[in-house]
């Protein structure tokens, strides 16, 4: 490490709050009876909200902690974003955990600790800090996936996730060691400066290390061919955990992906761009084609999320200030949309205990608001106009085309049309099929309020994306200013 160490512990206040709430939840759980377990979810959600509020102290500020953590607009954006994901995951979990899981305090503590790990991935300014943060996130998700310990599917999904995750972590760490050996540093900025000066004599080890790091990160975001864990983990995990994994693991992975490749590997973009583009196309193809064959709603959304990773990889392949902003904007829109869909499915599961697509038959008659909200979320995932998915995909695809990847944008448009087919299968069941019984479902007001907020976000990003885009752009520009040569050189590539 170089330079003076700035040990300002106050900069880590949002993470302290999350850790304190995690410990508090475990303590409260010891003295709570079964009927009080639901309130733990709302206490945990309050911890996420407080962490997000404290994070806003550092808007338009730029500091670092011990040359390990950046605290700037990029970090602040993702601190608030990840806390928001945790907030809605806790709200969606409250009733489910009370009725179906044991040890509620530890469950919510793991959700909050996963947010801490995700924050570290977005804030890290060197590879080992990023790796430790990634592992904190991953281990929390491994345990959460297998949390329904009396469900064999949950045990199987958690075991596969953990074993493959350990393998991918070893690959990523080996890649880090090779990059360190080639460049002499683990700091993003120092690696970028070294590579900007040329790669003579270090190319073989450097590119092997870079390939291994891409493989490790590819596992974390479920890119093909590193996606094998996703369907089983999604299907086996408790439903709120599936929702949480789908949002936070991909968002944290791409927050690190974008920062690492911008600050460290942008000088080599001509060497790795088409490799990432090929991964993007393969991920879109497998995710969307295999999703057509699914009959379980969790597996369908698992393969759908793999397809969405293909779109997000376009932002890395087209790496530029505009593409980086488009990538984060699509990530925000996808997270809001996917959480809206999953909260609807969780509400339905709380009523029925069913998760097959055919079980949604006639939902529009039994719960009109829920069916409408789920339809809006699915149309947004498909990229239909008026919804977040259309606006964010349009901006992302345009940024890829502007960087000479018009063919990849065409592939993405084609697979967006393919995805509409399997989303319409679910909508058809809800609106055209008859329900098993005509009795209306009761109204869970807290969960319905969460769905309403998420659907509002879907429409906001879809109809008026400018404020969100400006916010995202001001945050991602901070990263590109740290790239070798600064923002102007990055924009000219």
Tally the C-alpha atoms within 13 A of residue 11's C-alpha that lie toward its C-beta.
21
3-state secondary structure of 91: helix
Local confidence band at 436 (pLDDT 50, 70, 90 cut-offs): confident
The answer to whether the pTM exceeds 0.85 is yes
The pLDDT of residue 485 is 64
- 328-355: average pLDDT: 92
303 pLDDT above the threshold of 70: yes
Greater confidence, 16 or 444?
A: 16
CB atoms under 10 Å from CB of 452, counted, come to: 13
The pLDDT of residue 441 is 85
Please report the sign of the dihedral spanned by the C-alpha atoms of residue 443, residue 92, residue 239, residue 456: positive
Q: Cα(first)–Cα(last) distance of the chain, in Å?
A: 29
176 pLDDT above the threshold of 90: yes
Alpha helices in 292-320 (DSSP H): 297-317
Please report the sign of the dihedral spanned by the C-alpha atoms of residue 257, residue 306, residue 361, residue 295: negative
pLDDT tens digits, one per residue of 110-161? 999 999 999 999 999 999 999 999 999 999 999 999 998 888 888 998 999 9
Is cis: bond before 267, omega within 30 of 0?
no
CA distances (Å), 469 to each of 70, 73, 255, 331, 370, in order? 22, 14, 16, 11, 29
3 pLDDT above the threshold of 60: no
CB burial string 148-183: b at 16+ within 10 A, e below: beebeebbbbbbbbbebbeebbebbbbbbebbbebb
pLDDT tens digits, one per residue of 465-487? 999 999 999 999 988 888 776 64
The pLDDT of residue 486 is 60
């Amino acid at each position: 490490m170089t330079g003076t160490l700035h040990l300002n512990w106050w900069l880590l206040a949002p993470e302290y709050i999350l850790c304190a709430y995690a410990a508090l939840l475990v303590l409260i759980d010891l003295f709570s009876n079964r009927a009080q377990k639901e309130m733990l979810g709302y206490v945990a959600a309050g911890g996420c909200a407080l962490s997000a509020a404290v994070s806003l102290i550092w808007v338009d500020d730029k500091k670092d902690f011990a040359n390990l953590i950046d605290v700037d607009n990029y970090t602040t954006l993702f601190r608030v974003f990840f806390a928001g994901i945790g907030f809605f995951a806790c709200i969606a979990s409250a009733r489910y955990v009370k009725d179906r899981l044991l040890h509620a305090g530890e469950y919510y503590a793991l959700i909050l600790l996963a947010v801490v790990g995700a924050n570290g991935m977005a804030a890290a300014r060197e590879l080992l800090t990023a790796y430790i943060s990634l592992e904190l996130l991953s281990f929390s998700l491994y345990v959460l996936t297998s949390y329904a310990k009396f469900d064999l599917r949950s045990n199987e999904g958690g075991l596969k996730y953990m074993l493959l995750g350990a393998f991918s972590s070893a690959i990523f760490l080996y890649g880090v060691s090779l990059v360190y050996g080639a460049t002499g540093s683990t700091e993003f900025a120092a690696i970028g400066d070294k590579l900007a000066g040329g790669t003579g004599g270090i190319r073989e080890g450097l590119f092997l290390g870079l390939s291994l790091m891409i493989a490790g990160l590819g596992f974390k975001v479920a890119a093909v061919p590193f996606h094998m864990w996703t369907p089983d983990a999604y299907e086996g995990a408790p439903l709120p955990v599936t929702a949480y994994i789908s949002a936070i693991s991909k968002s944290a992975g791409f927050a690190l992906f974008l920062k690492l490749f911008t600050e460290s590997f942008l000088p080599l973009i001509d060497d790795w761009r088409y490799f990432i583009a090929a991964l993007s196309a393969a991920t879109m193809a497998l995710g969307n084609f295999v999703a057509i064959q699914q009959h379980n709603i969790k597996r369908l959304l698992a393969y759908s999320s793999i397809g969405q990773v293909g779109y997000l990889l376009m932002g890395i392949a087209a790496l530029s200030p505009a593409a980086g902003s488009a990538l984060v904007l699509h990530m925000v829109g996808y997270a809001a949309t996917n959480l809206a869909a999953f909260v609807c499915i969780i509400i339905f599961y709380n009523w029925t205990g069913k998760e097959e697509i055919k079980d949604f038959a006639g939902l529009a008659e039994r719960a009109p608001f829920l069916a409408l909200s789920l339809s809006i979320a699915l149309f947004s995932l498909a990229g239909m106009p008026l919804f977040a998915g259309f606006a964010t995909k349009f901006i992302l695809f345009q940024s890829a085309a502007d960087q000479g990847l018009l063919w990849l944008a065409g592939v993405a448009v084609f697979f967006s049309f393919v995805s509409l087919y399997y989303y319409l299968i679910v909508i058809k069941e809800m609106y055209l099929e008859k329900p098993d019984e005509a009795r209306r479902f009761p109204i869970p007001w807290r969960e319905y309020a969460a769905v309403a907020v998420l659907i509002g976000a879907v429409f906001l990003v879809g109809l008026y994306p400018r404020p969100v885009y400006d916010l995202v752009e001001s945050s991602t520009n901070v990263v590109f200013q740290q790239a070798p040569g600064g923002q102007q050189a990055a924009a000219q590539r």
